[in-house]
């Protein structure tokens, strides 16, 4: 069966520090991968998606970047965190062919102080 992992679960970082959040998927190949951010009590904002290794599409220009060094690994990064980067970050995968359901990881709660 497929599983998706995210770590860390929670993170508290000072403003200006770097960020690296990792997401890995098991039990599937060639998934579409997604990074979302969710502000408190709000919906999901799509940040990045990837249809293959090294292929990253950005939905919202901001202080973050994403990379996909391996088929089932998706990394969200920042060189210098801003206060506004605080939020709940969710990784999701979707089967190839599109128009399928997404499967979400447990999320990372990021607080920037």
Partner 1 sequence: SQQGEEDPQALSIQEGENATMNCSYKTSINNLQWYRQNSGRGLVHLILIRSNEREKHSGRLRVTLDTSKKSSSLLITASRAADTASYFCASSGGSYIPTFGRGTSLIVHP
Q: Which residues bind partner 1 (CB under 8 A)?
A: 32, 34, 36, 41-44, 46, 49, 88, 90, 92, 94, 97-107, 109
Min. distance of Cβ 56 from partner 1 in angstroms? 14
User: Residue 76 and residue 47: Cα distance in Å, rounded?
Assistant: 9
| Helices vs strands, H then E, count in the chain | 0, 11
**Which residue, 36 or 74, has its beta carbon nearer to partner 1?**
36
Min. distance of Cβ 45 from partner 1 in angstroms? 8
Residue with tokens 């599409």: 57
């Amino acid at each position: 069966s497929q599983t998706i992992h995210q770590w860390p679960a929670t993170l508290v970082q000072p403003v200006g520090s770097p960020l690296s959040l990792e997401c890995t998927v098991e039990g599937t190949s060639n998934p579409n991968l997604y990074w979302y951010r969710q502000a408190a009590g709000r919906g999901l904002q799509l940040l990045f998606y990837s249809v293959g290794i090294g292929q990253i599409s950005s939905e919202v220009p901001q202080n973050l970047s994403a990379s996909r060094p391996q088929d089932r690994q998706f990394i969200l990064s920042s060189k210098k965190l801003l206060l506004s980067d605080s939020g709940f970050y969710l990784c999701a995968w979707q089967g190839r062919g599109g128009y399928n359901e997404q499967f979400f990881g447990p999320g990372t709660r990021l607080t920037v102080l």
